[in-house]
Amino acid sequence: MSTQQTLPNPGLGTYRLEGDTVRRVIDTALKLGYRHIDTAQFYDNEADVGAAIAASEVPREEIFLTTKVWFDRLQPADLKASVDESLEKLGTEYVDLLLIHWPSPGDEVPMADYLTALSEVQQAGKTRHIGVSNFTRAQIDQAVDILGAGALLTNQIEVHPFLQNRDLVAHCKRHDIAVTAFMPLAVGKVMEDPTLQRIAEAHDATPAQVAIAWLNQLDIVTFPSSTKETNLRRNIEALDITLSDEEMAEIATLDRGERIANPEIAPDWDQ
């Protein structure tokens, strides 16, 4: 089954967007046809995201809404309380996808504890799907051992032309876990790459569109962030671009292991 049968593509990332800005961007995106919105407790914008969804003419049930539990709320009782807080801020009875934002640093909270709590939140009807983010191959194996095959919808990880994460992507797919990609444009660096510029020119497109099209052809859903209507529209139009095998192979050569999201709480990457 295609990832995109469950997760609408592209989504809208809301990291660093707050207040009137995030409300305006969500309103614009929904009018353009976006149906997937990605937020998190850490983004401190859940209330604004919820207000924008409530104000939209698009029915809630047509919107795929993701939020994430921050690493300091992973103790089971605290995790469940944090989800209730998120739902209240978002103004909804459920989210479509609830993720563990980062694995517990140094396994301070045992994975079995917080993943079991995550599953119990799902059983309570507060989220339709559950998943993880920033999990390594070893952590994915551990998570599957804890919850069983088919429990996790996705592992949300950093993927862009300069960090292609092929081993982890393949590992997730072997477990039938979809990969969703954050930072698909490498915080704008894709715009400066000569190879992507040349491929973009051949398609009368932008390098950002080429990066999104590349991910789409790898069956990876992504959610770039933008405050500009032109870019929001281009991100959707990128899905109409079909890259040749040669172009896909050229982009494959751009991988240089350039990890952008690597905070102190990050796990020991095993790829």
- Does residue 195 lie in a domain region? no
Predicted local distance difference test score (pLDDT) of residue 271: 58
* Three-class SS state of 124: coil
Residue 171 among known ligand-binding residues: no
Predicted local distance difference test score (pLDDT) of residue 1: 43
Mean pLDDT, residues 7-36 taken together: 97
- Spatial distance between the Cα atoms of 225 and 72, rounded to a whole number of angstroms: 25
Predicted local distance difference test score (pLDDT) of residue 151: 98
Predicted local distance difference test score (pLDDT) of residue 6: 87
Q: Which amino acid type is present at position 190?
A: V
- Does residue 206 lie in a domain region? no
Predicted local distance difference test score (pLDDT) of residue 120: 98
Mean pLDDT, residues 52-73 taken together: 98
Task: Give the CATH number of the domain where residue 53 resides.
Answer: 3.20.20.100
Locate all alpha helices (DSSP H) within 128-175, ordered by sequence: 137-147, 166-174
Model confidence over 97-131: pLDDT tens digits?
999 999 999 999 999 999 999 999 999 999 999 99
Catalytic residue, chosen from 15, 34, 43, 94, is: 43
Model confidence over 249-260: pLDDT tens digits?
999 999 999 999
- Does residue 192 lie in a domain region? no
Predicted local distance difference test score (pLDDT) of residue 170: 97
- Does residue 245 lie in a domain region? no
- Does residue 265 lie in a domain region? no
Taking the mean position of all CA atoms in its chain, how far away is CA 138? Answer: 20
| Residue corresponding to tokens 């003419």 | 57
- State residue 139 phi and psi, 5-degree precision: -70, -35
| pTM tops 0.85, yes or no | yes
- Does residue 193 lie in a domain region? no
Q: Which of 212, 92, 203, 112 is nearest to 159 (CA)?
A: 212
What is the domain count for the chain? 1
Taking the mean position of all CA atoms in its chain, how far away is CA 154? Answer: 9
| Residue corresponding to tokens 């009807």 | 125
- Does residue 204 lie in a domain region? no
Domain containing 137: what range? 3-185
- Does residue 151 lie in a domain region? yes
Q: Classify residue 99 by its DSSP letter.
A: E
Mean pLDDT, residues 158-168 taken together: 98
Q: Which of 6, 46, 8 is nearest to 236 (CA)?
A: 8
Model confidence over 200-248: pLDDT tens digits?
999 999 999 999 999 999 999 999 999 999 999 999 999 999 999 999 9
Note if 43 is an active site residue. Answer: yes
